[in-house]
Structure 1
Amino acid sequence: MSAPATPTGEVKKIGRWYFGGLASAAAACCTHPLDLLKVHMQTGGAKEKIGIMSQTAHIIKSEGILALYSGLSASLLRQLTYSTTRFAIYEVSKQQVAPNGESIPFLTRLSLAAVAGFTGGLVGTPGDMINVRMQNDVKLPKNQRRNYKHAIDGLFRVAREEGVKKLFNGADWASSRAVLVTVGQLCFYDVVKAKLLTTGHFQDNLTTHFTSSLAAGAIATTMTQPLDVLKTRAMNSKPGEFKGALDLVSFTAKQGPMAFYKGYIPAFVRLGPHTVLTFIFFEQLRMNFGKTVE
């Protein structure tokens, strides 16, 4: 049977399970400096009132411009574990529910995204923790830096020096955050895109992909920022620094309600472009190398 054509005569294609991981890794190469700045602002103490531009200038002046790419290997490791897992589960599940690209109810999409996000967050925790540590290294005194050579070196050193369990430090925060960010990104991207296509003013092209992904990025940032702050602090903490999740929440709350949204602007500036680039790359992979719908 030949693949059905869209109203414009184009053959409809769906993404392969690994497209999301590849697209996310490519986006991370572009947005890594913004992610690094976000981590610096979130792990700073209450007395550190430094803005994103001042933070950027300080890093470049003290460490050089390449310091903005500190931990890039860990960022790629995180995307190739975390994002590959969540995109794979979400896309494959969608194709099982609607093999011919039929409309999927919102609650079904939300449930699929939540399961995919939780699993991806758990799988990606080790890479995420190494990513946070490598990015935060440049702001520490030289005698306190961990100085991981690359992401794999970081994984082995943490396992050897602190135990394998430490690699999953912050997994509860990471998985909870991943549920929200995956719902915000994947689920709402599909919802917004579907709504735009029904208006008759949009087609399945770059304009629609950009608009849908920008909206998804804004939704995801707003939903996930408090958990993102807590996750980052948990992963960057020293052994025994916090007694548990409630202790971490209490410590953060003492700095004021806005402490949970610390780094919101760089978080949006990073997650917005990252979401846009991820879906643009994903859609290009889908349209050029995807599977045709039978």
Structure 2
Amino acid sequence: MDFIVGGMAGVAAGFFSNPFDVVKTRMQLQGELRARGQHAVHYKNIPHAMYTIVKHDGVAALQKGLVPALWFQLVVNGVRLGIYQHADDFGLLRDEKGNTLFVNSLFFGSISGMCGAFFGSPLQLVKTQLMSYSSEKIAVGTQHAHSGLTYAMRKIYRKNGLGGLWRGAHGMMIRNSIGSASQIAAYAVCKEWMDDNNMFQQSKYLSAFVASNIGAVVKTIALTPMDVIMTRLYNQSVDAEGRGQLYSGIVDCARKITKTEGLLAFYKGMGPSYLRQAPHTVLLLVFWDMLKDVQKSWERKTQA
């Protein structure tokens, strides 16, 4: 049940944050392996990016990749929040007074995020390629022209086999490990501190709302460099053997970005990344708290 609750919270949050994910993906691919000033700038900032996408591809383009994005949220958050909640249920996250142990929370947040990423990696691969596809006038990165989730998975499987669907999974596991650990640990510790000090107690979920915003800031700062790398790795074209034609792996991608675009390129798309992470994290963690309350209420009724 913990896995279902976590997955449902992720799906609810994913619907609202998806447009910012589209913008983030486009901005991270813009100017790929080009020095500043040597490439067209189709997406200047978040409002301009949204306007440009709507102008050339229509309003529906802001929800590109929504189907794999929601499946990704269901799988990844179902696994990671489920594992994290089980660790809490087994008494692995708190001391004898019931206070959250930061190191333990960080560790299990990292492990649960890594596990979720492994199972969700094929969906993230397809989602990235669907989000990057656009009209020729504003195209950035490799254009894969998938018509949908099922088509994309069949196409990748036929070309590169089962391993092709898990291309870049190791990098995704590192990315989600960093993001999950920073998000969950920051949220848990901040919420507990506010509750213990009677801060933001006007509403049952107000402290969860504030703590999740803090979690979003921490996660965005920690996650963005690896997120840029993973967007590039997932979106690049591959040869018949499934080898990337631009980057051979995480280290090669990081080296080429640093050499051609500079260190600041690792924070491309940080604005839309935060605007995606903020509502997503808030909705995810608040929904998670609410659904856990519903779950506990249902369990009490069934036991009565």
TM-score (normalised: structure 2): 0.85
Picking from 187, 191, 194, the partner of 1:193 is: 191
Q: CA–CA distance in 1 between the matches of 2:189 and 2:21?
A: 26
Which residue pairs with 1:246 in the alignment? 251
Which residue pairs with 2:50 in the alignment? 56
Q: CA–CA distance in 1 between the matches of 2:3 and 2:253?
A: 36
Which residue pairs with 2:235 in the alignment? 236
Structure 1 residue 138, shift from structure 2 partner: 1.7
Alignment of 1:1-294 (within 5 A): 16-45=2-31, 46=34, 47-49=39-41, 50-97=44-91, 102-138=98-134, 140=136, 145-203=143-201, 205-239=204-238, 240-254=245-259, 255-290=261-296
Greater relative contact order (Cα 8 A, min sep 6): structure 1 or 2? 1
**How has the CA–CA distance of structure 1 residues 141 and 81 changed in structure 2, closer, same or farther, with 3 Å as cutoff?**
farther
**How has the CA–CA distance of structure 1 residues 157 and 42 changed in structure 2, closer, same or farther, with 3 Å as cutoff?**
same
Q: Is the CA contact (8 Å cut-off) linking 2:93 and 2:101 kept in structure 1?
A: no
**Which is worse superposed, 51-60 or 23-32?**
51-60
Q: Is the CA contact (8 Å cut-off) linking 1:77 and 1:151 kept in structure 2?
A: no
- SS at 1:180's partner residue? helix
Structure 1 residue 16, shift from structure 2 partner: 2.7
Q: CA–CA distance in 2 between the matches of 1:194 and 1:142?
A: 46
- SS at 1:205's partner residue? coil
Q: Deviations over 1:42-97 (max 9, x none)?
A: 01114243222222111111111011111100101211111111111111111112
Q: CA–CA distance in 1 between the matches of 2:138 and 2:262?
A: 31
In structure 2, what residue type is equivalent to 1:242? Y
Q: Is the CA contact (8 Å cut-off) linking 1:177 and 1:227 kept in structure 2?
A: yes
Q: Is the CA contact (8 Å cut-off) linking 1:74 and 1:134 kept in structure 2?
A: no
Which residue pairs with 1:12 in the alignment? none
Q: Is the CA contact (8 Å cut-off) linking 1:81 and 1:127 kept in structure 2?
A: no
- SS at 1:238's partner residue? coil
Alignment: residue pair count? 280
Task: Give me the CA root mean square deviation.
Answer: 2.4
In structure 2, what residue type is equivalent to 1:120? G
Q: CA–CA distance in 1 between the matches of 2:219 and 2:40?
A: 26
Q: Is the CA contact (8 Å cut-off) linking 1:129 and 1:167 kept in structure 2?
A: yes
Structure 2 gap ranges (5+) = 239-244
Q: CA–CA distance in 2 between the matches of 1:157 and 1:97?
A: 45
In structure 2, what residue type is equivalent to 1:216? G
Structure 1 gap ranges (5+) = 1-14
Structure 1 residue 125, shift from structure 2 partner: 0.7
Q: Is the CA contact (8 Å cut-off) linking 1:173 and 1:228 kept in structure 2?
A: no
State the identity %. Answer: 25
Q: Is the CA contact (8 Å cut-off) linking 2:100 and 2:189 kept in structure 1?
A: no
Which residue pairs with 2:241 in the alignment? none
Q: CA–CA distance in 2 between the matches of 1:67 and 1:154?
A: 17
Q: CA–CA distance in 2 between the matches of 1:48 and 1:207?
A: 44
Q: Is the CA contact (8 Å cut-off) linking 1:40 and 1:139 kept in structure 2?
A: no
